[in-house]
Amino acid sequence: MARNSLLGATIMLTALAVMLTWPQALHLGTAVPDHDDPFFSMWRLGWIAHVLPRDVGHLFDGNIFYPHRGTLAYSDATLLEGLIGAPLLWAHVNLVLVYNVLLLAGIVSLGVGMFVLVRHLTHDADAALISAAIFTVAPYRIEHFMHLELQWTVWMPLTFWAVHRVFEKASLRFGISVGLLLSLQLLSCVYYGVFLGMIVAALIVLLAASQPRVARAALVPLFVGGLVTAVVAAAYGVPYVESARVVGTRDPAETARYSAQISSYLAAPDQNWLWGWTAFQFEGNERRLFPGVVAVLLAACAVLSKARRRLVCIYLALTLLAIELSLGLNGTVYRWLYAHAWALQGFRAPARFGILAVCALSVLAGFGFEYLKRRIPAPRMLFIVVLVAIGLEGGSAPLRLMEVPRREPDVYTFLKESPATNTASVVIEFPIDSGFNPLYMFWSTRHWRPLVNGYSGYTPRDYDETMRRLRTFPDKASIARLAELNVRHILVHEHYYTHRERTALLLAIARSPDLISVGEYRDWIGTTQVFERKPAVLYAP
């Protein structure tokens, strides 16, 4: 299959994605990245598929953090991914498989998007594939391997492509395409939608400044595209504005902690084969933004050459702007925007602008490869050598995976089949430590009962107080809080307690006059004791 075709490029990029994420392809239906967030993402996908055919008006009222509503908007809703995955879940496809297919599809499609952009700008399929490979296997991918929404960046290069087409054709169709593609990025990942909008605005200004004769003709299509994005953003933003009233905005100290530094671009993920030793500079998974030596060298070739000067200068400016914005409160531009734009105060990690720097740098690398290809007598060998070098620099396999039990635990079958004797039938699971909540949320996809536990980007302001009062369970104060929350079922997962803790807890529960033992059931790792509050307490007026 000719690699200059879109299908041929897709096949090559799929192979790269499989190599990058190995051995994930062997465990699509049974394992996920070893992190809490995949379980959170599976809950999001499951909730969207669950609520859409039943009560779409309550789409954002997830079953976590009961009794709060709008909880899907406490983090990125991953609405587009949820809409894509919903038909598969309605057909009873394994949730783990749906999650992994969407994860890998995001990685493959972003490379295809970059291929479309650079092939259009250079008319060179080899250069386009090099850019696509850089964007696909950038170390950033592995740094955020556990974040489904952060892999869905296909709309970035495609939005750039549509902007270029507007300036070339002054077509209303392409103007609308800009708005739609930018909206799709927003629906895939709110962070990236807002950040991309800022970079696209800069791209439009730079193209207009470099082509004043055609800028006027492009104005109307771009305005229409902007209206499309504004309408989508206004509608999609409503639940996020409502949630901000409940959970507030980010603490500036937290935003500063997740702002990049210039040295972040010298740090790679610790799993990286060649550059993992640089990871020690930063903790966490937000400030390791190394783009790769090959990408930088190819971009330098583009900058030093005299070919495509206008486009090279534009994409160099976009790269530098994205780097500056990724510095967040450590920089100048974002700090000023943060002080004057309320919406940005809801974003924790300005460092995520780093992927837009990689996006623009990938375009520059394509220009640089095109320049080298014209000057080296063996272009085919050059292509192979550069592609192998990119693969080696991005190599991080084998990645750490966590197996997800295939069988539904008996305790959740009990909850699913237990009659809802009141409207809520609220559930709480112990231990209540936050580290277990993503698992509780994942397994709640089997029964969809309201759950007091929760895990998300934000938590309600009263949630910490609830957790504090419940840490002394089953004393009177904790039982009173359970009554306030109208909790019916209490699940105690024995495996997560020491023998002494478990014995003391179960003895205390046995002495409590407010609790009734319902039975002992298997969970995903051991035994769960299930209790109910006594009906006289539960249904007292």
226: how many CB neighbours lie within 10 A of its CB? 18
- How many domains are there within the chain? 2
- Same domain? 315 vs 427: no
Which of residues 434 and 541 earns the better pLDDT score?
434
What is the C-alpha separation between 48 and 59, in angstroms, rounded? 7
Q: 350 Cβ partners below 8 Å, 6+ apart? A: 255, 258, 259, 260, 325, 326, 327, 328, 329, 334
Tell me which residue range forms the domain holding 508: 410-538
- Same domain? 417 vs 380: no
Asked if the structure places residue 5 within a domain, the reply is: no
Asked if the structure places residue 7 within a domain, the reply is: no
Whether a cis peptide bond, with omega within 30° of 0, leads into 409 is: no
- Same domain? 294 vs 381: yes
Asked if the structure places residue 21 within a domain, the reply is: no
- Same domain? 202 vs 95: yes
Q: Among 401, 435, 462, which residue terminates a domain?
A: 401
- Three-state secondary structure call for residue 10: helix
What is the C-alpha separation between 307 and 115, in angstroms, rounded? 20
List 491's β-bridge partners, or say none.
429, 530
User: Above pLDDT 90, what percent of the chain?
Assistant: 88
Whether a cis peptide bond, with omega within 30° of 0, leads into 419 is: no
Asked if the structure places residue 4 within a domain, the reply is: no
pLDDT at residue 248, as a whole number: 82
pLDDT tops 80 at residue 3:
no
Asked if the structure places residue 1 within a domain, the reply is: no
- Same domain? 73 vs 130: yes
318-336 pLDDT tens trace: 999 999 999 999 999 999 9
pLDDT at residue 127, as a whole number: 97
What is the C-alpha separation between 490 and 482, in angstroms, rounded? 9
Q: Among 331, 366, 401, which residue terminates a domain?
A: 401
Asked if the structure places residue 6 within a domain, the reply is: no
DSSP class of residue 341 equals: -
pLDDT at residue 103, as a whole number: 97
Q: How high is the mean pLDDT of the chain?
A: 93
- Same domain? 129 vs 180: yes
138-175 pLDDT tens trace: 999 999 999 999 999 999 999 999 999 999 999 999 99
What is the C-alpha separation between 367 and 318, in angstroms, rounded? 15
398-427 pLDDT tens trace: 999 999 998 999 999 999 988 765 556 899
Of 199-213, 214-228, 420-434, least confident by mean pLDDT is: 420-434
Asked if the structure places residue 155 within a domain, the reply is: yes
What is the residue whose two structure tokens read 């953090």?
65
pLDDT tops 90 at residue 434:
no
pLDDT at residue 424, as a whole number: 62
Mean pLDDT on 28-36: 96
457-495 pLDDT tens trace: 999 989 989 999 999 999 999 999 999 999 999 999 999
Q: Note whether 365 and 134 are within 8 A (CB).
A: yes
- Same domain? 526 vs 393: no
- Three-state secondary structure call for residue 456: coil
263-321 pLDDT tens trace: 999 999 999 999 999 998 777 668 999 999 999 999 999 999 988 999 999 999 999 99
Taking alpha carbons only, the member of 341, 368, 355 closest to residue 291 is 355
Is this prediction's pTM over 0.85?
yes
- Same domain? 104 vs 187: yes
pLDDT tops 80 at residue 541:
no
Structure tokens at 536: 């006289």
357-405 pLDDT tens trace: 999 999 999 999 999 999 998 999 999 999 999 999 999 999 999 999 9
Burial of residue 5, with CB atoms counted within 10 A of its CB: 0-12 exposed, 13-18 middle, 19 or more buried? exposed
- Same domain? 279 vs 381: yes
Asked if the structure places residue 290 within a domain, the reply is: yes
List 522's β-bridge partners, or say none.
527
Mean pLDDT on 43-72: 96
pLDDT at residue 291, as a whole number: 96
pLDDT at residue 36, as a whole number: 94
List 529's β-bridge partners, or say none.
492, 520
Ramachandran bin of 422, using left for φ above 0, alpha for ψ from -120 to 50, beta for the remaining angles: beta
- Same domain? 190 vs 131: yes
Side chain identity at residue 224, one-letter code: V
pLDDT tops 50 at residue 1:
no
What is the residue whose two structure tokens read 């259009």?
120
- Same domain? 443 vs 482: yes
List 402's β-bridge partners, or say none.
32
Taking alpha carbons only, the member of 323, 328, 314 closest to residue 291 is 323
Chain-centre distance of CA 284, in angstroms? 15
Q: Among 346, 369, 401, which residue terminates a domain?
A: 401
For residue 467, CA distances in Å to 273, 357, 368 come to 41, 40, 55
Q: 373 Cβ partners below 8 Å, 6+ apart? A: 124, 126, 127, 379, 382, 383
pLDDT at residue 4, as a whole number: 67
Q: Note whether 130 and 383 are within 8 A (CB).
A: yes
- Same domain? 313 vs 254: yes
Side chain identity at residue 414, one-letter code: F
